Structure 1
Amino acid sequence: MGETMLGRKPGSTREEILYLLKTHGPLSAGDIAEKLGISEMAVRRHLSTLERDRLVRTTRVRQTMGRPAHLFGLTEKADALFPKHYADFALELLKDLVAEDGTEKMEELLARREERLRERYQPHMAGKTLRERVATLAALQNEKGYMADWNAEGDRRFVLTERNCPIVRVAQEFLQVCQCELRLFRALLAADVKQVQCIAQGGQHCVYVIQERA
Structure 2
Amino acid sequence: MAANDTEDRRTRQKVFQSVLDEGPITASSLAKALELTPAAIRRHLDALESEGLIEVRELAGKQAGRGRPARHYVVTTAGHDSVSHSYDELAVNILRFMEDRHGKSAVEDFTEDLVARLRDRLGAELDKRGGTTVASRSRALAAALTREGYAASATPVAAGTPLEAMQLCQGHCPIQAVAAEFPEVCEAELAMFSDYLGVDVRRLSSLAQGDHVCTTHIPTSELTRPLIHSNDRPQGGSR
Task: Quickly name the TM-score band, shorter chain normalised.
Answer: 0.5 to 0.7
Deviations 1:158-187 (A, max 9, x none): 111111111110011101111111111111
Paired position in structure 1 for 2:108: 107
1:141 matches 2:145:
yes
User: Which whole-Å CA distance do the structure 2 matches of 1:145 and 1:196 have between them?
Assistant: 20
Paired position in structure 1 for 2:97: 96
User: Which whole-Å CA distance do the structure 1 matches of 2:84 and 2:179 have between them?
Assistant: 20
Unpaired runs of 5+ in structure 2?
A: 10-81, 227-239
Deviations 1:181-214 (A, max 9, x none): 1111111111221101011112121001101335
1:187 matches 2:191:
no
Paired position in structure 1 for 2:212: 204
| 1:192 match: secondary structure | coil
TM-score (norm 1): 0.58
Paired position in structure 2 for 1:5: none
Of residues 134, 146, 150, the one that matches 1:130 is 134
User: Which whole-Å CA distance do the structure 2 matches of 1:109 and 1:82 have between them?
Assistant: 24
| 2:173 match: secondary structure | coil
| 1:114 match: secondary structure | helix
Unpaired runs of 5+ in structure 1?
A: 1-10, 17-80
Paired position in structure 2 for 1:116: 117
**Whose radius of gyration is greater, 1 or 2?**
1
User: Which whole-Å CA distance do the structure 2 matches of 1:158 and 1:116 have between them?
Assistant: 25
User: Which whole-Å CA distance do the structure 1 matches of 2:206 and 2:85 have between them?
Assistant: 23
Higher-RCO chain (CA-CA 8 Å, sequence separation at least 6):
2
Deviations 1:59-91 (A, max 9, x none): xxxxxxxxxxxxxxxxxxxxxx99852111111
C-alpha spacing 1:152/1:82, structure 2 compared with 1 (3 Å): closer
Paired position in structure 1 for 2:165: 157
Paired position in structure 2 for 1:56: none
User: Which whole-Å CA distance do the structure 1 matches of 2:88 and 2:165 have between them?
Assistant: 34
TM-score (norm 2): 0.52
| 2:149 match: secondary structure | coil
